[in-house]
Amino acid sequence: MGAVTIKHVAKEAGVSLQTVSRVVNNGPNVTDAMRERVRAAIDKLGYVPNMAARRMGGSKSYLLVAFNDRKPTLEKWRAGRGSDWVAQMLLGAIPRCERDGYHLLLELLDGHSAKLHQKIDAIISSLRPDGVILTPPHSQDRSIIDQLEHRKVPYARLSPGEDDERGFRVRMDERQAAVMATRHLLDLGHRRIGFLTGSAEYAVSTERLEGFRAAMADAGAAIAPEWVRQGEFSFESGIASADALFALRGPPTAIIASSDEQALAVLHRAKDMGLDVPADLSLISFDDTPPIAFSLPPLTAIRHPTAAMAERAAALLIEGHGLDMPPSPPCTLPFELVVRGSTVPPRR
């Protein structure tokens, strides 16, 4: 057989051409059983819909674009460390796009560039995406949201903060996650707990710090100002913060880091200082990307549902939720505190 066409799929599935077309284009009026039957025929025959023909047949481009923060992404890639957050985001979004014949492109935007909006206009005009996934900090940028609404491009926002309720918002409860991490250490008996913040440009940094402060206050535990270190999500920032905390006359007996890279930096610096984790220092990380489980010791961490959030964002856009939808509460996905070998009671 030559090239597989829609006619071959219809014959294999025993349905009409119109039914195959509705399934391929994610259209209405098809039962779940029929949809699975057509998809099985597509998989069996290896049918690949012609993207150009699909675009000519309607207004859809079958393309989603994710806007990610340019500077930290490139810095990690150039340093050979990759970006586990980006990998998790793609892990969630790409399979969801593939399921309905969509494609996903990743674009890197510099939120401080004078040509930011010019670049966004160029992307929208050349690609005509069916939707945009905004990752932080772009998901909090009102000017980007204004621009997408002006261009009538649907969008979904990951970790959007609480200052702007527009669009589809997909999040986890960052405050409550920090509360849970802090309470875990408090329940073990720690009272001198350090906290490493992420970049101030990201709403999650503020939310996590608020959760830490709230949990400490509820326990009646004081927070020395020097125990809270403002920084970035990077390994280098973690090293600088660890150096500052370990130099204190009364250093913390436990530290919560706002990213896995920060936590790994603390772990490295603790070893350099002759400190044993967890005997001398308990350590909790945020995100729980794969390297954390393979560290020595494996780190207790808040598992961030990045992949699930990206999958949900893609689904909202693919399912055709547009700008005319009324405002709705954010979709809040669950997190998990994964207790491993880096947290124990403090030395007496």
Q: Would you give the distance in Å from CA 111 to the centre of its chain?
A: 18
Exposed / middle / buried, residue 214 (Cβ in 10 Å: 0-12, 13-18, 19+): middle
Q: Would you give the distance in Å from CA 242 to the centre of its chain?
A: 26
User: The CATH number of the domain where 265 resides is what?
Assistant: 3.40.50.2300
pLDDT of 56 reads 46
pLDDT digits (tens, 9 = 90+) for 62-118: 899 999 999 988 988 888 877 788 889 999 999 999 988 899 999 999 999 999 999
Same structural domain, 92 and 139: yes
pTM: 0.82
Is 346 inside a domain boundary? no
Percentage with pLDDT > 70 across the chain: 94
Same structural domain, 313 and 164: yes
Per-residue pLDDT band for 161 (boundaries 50, 70, 90) equals: confident
Is 57 inside a domain boundary? no
Is 348 inside a domain boundary? no
Is 263 inside a domain boundary? yes
Is 54 inside a domain boundary? no
Is 273 inside a domain boundary? yes
Same structural domain, 103 and 44: no
Same structural domain, 103 and 214: no
Per-residue pLDDT band for 231 (boundaries 50, 70, 90) equals: very high
pLDDT digits (tens, 9 = 90+) for 39-58: 888 888 877 766 555 554 45
* pLDDT for residue 26 is more than 80: no
User: The CATH number of the domain where 28 resides is what?
Assistant: 1.10.260.40
Total of domains in the chain: 3
Please name the residue ranges forming H helices in 128-195: 142-150, 174-188
Q: Domain residues for 27?
A: 6-49
Is 342 inside a domain boundary? no
